[in-house]
Amino acid sequence: MVTVGDIYNYIDTFAPFHTAMGFDNVGLLVGEKHCPVTSVIVSMDITPEVISEAVSQNAELIISHHPVIFQPLKRLSPTDVPYLLVQNDLCAIAAHTNYDLACGGVNACLAERLQLKQISMLEEYEHSGLAVSLIGQLEAEMRPSEFAAYVKTQLECAGLKFTVGKTAVKKVAVACGAGSSSIFAAGAAGADAFVSGDSKHHELLAASSMGITMVDAGHFATEDVAIQPLCNRLAKEFPQVRFIKSQQKDPVQYLV
């Protein structure tokens, strides 16, 4: 019988929990390692809807990218997600920045979804040998607006915002989720374009002044690309367990 601990230990082999950034809260956040597992929901977040999904699938474990407990809890009510997890006998594992940084992790999945070639590290996290951001090459050049449309299609996002760079796009940098501050490293490396989420006004201004096509596809879309690959990887290691990608959707809507 596969246990929560078995799955935890396997994730630790390719996205070691100790490599998470200092501010993060990863690992087994709810439940116990000895609990047996037959079905698992894998999601970006743990919401009441994801918990309902887990219950309907008779899952014992939810693996989320974002930690269900991030800030210290000051109170717990019956409507809070951690309470609902315990109430429904569900365990919860978070693989957040340790999975972002991992070889084959979120940034790698983002680069692969954009079909980049010759991928290499752009920025290293605190001399760890792990990449905060990556850089690679497109197969063929694209106009800035054409590239933005390509990102929208590849990431299956409802909308995005972008700056129009001064050159055709060939060399592309990526940093998943809230990695938009990597725009400066992208500019220093001579990138024609940079893809991330959660961009700030002054980062977009900087991209524009550097002549870079900066594409903000949103936090969800730049990280959700790694959820199905995680499901597939876990299913290959534990064929006797069902790993189900959550039906969770991006909560952001766009009005154009």
Question: Which pair of tokens denotes residue 106?
Answer: 């979120």
pTM (global) more than 0.85: yes
Question: Are the beta carbons of 68 and 47 closer than 8 angstroms?
Answer: no
In the chain the first and final C-alpha atoms are separated, in Å, by 51
Q: Is the pLDDT of residue 256 over 90?
A: no
Rounded Cα gap, residues 143 and 149, in angstroms: 10
Rounded Cα gap, residues 193 and 226, in angstroms: 21
Rounded Cα gap, residues 113 and 155, in angstroms: 7
Identify the structural domains of the chain with CATH numbers, from first to last.
4-98+226-244 (3.40.1390.30), 106-222 (3.40.1390.30)
Q: What mean pLDDT is predicted for residues 101-123?
A: 98
The mean pLDDT value of the chain amounts to: 98
Rounded Cα gap, residues 90 and 233, in angstroms: 22
Instruction: Give the pLDDT confidence of 177-219 residue by residue, as tens digits.
Output: 999 999 999 999 999 999 999 999 999 999 999 999 999 999 9
Helix (H, G, I), strand (E, B) or coil at 82: helix
- DSSP states of 143-160: -HHHHHHHHHHHHT-S--
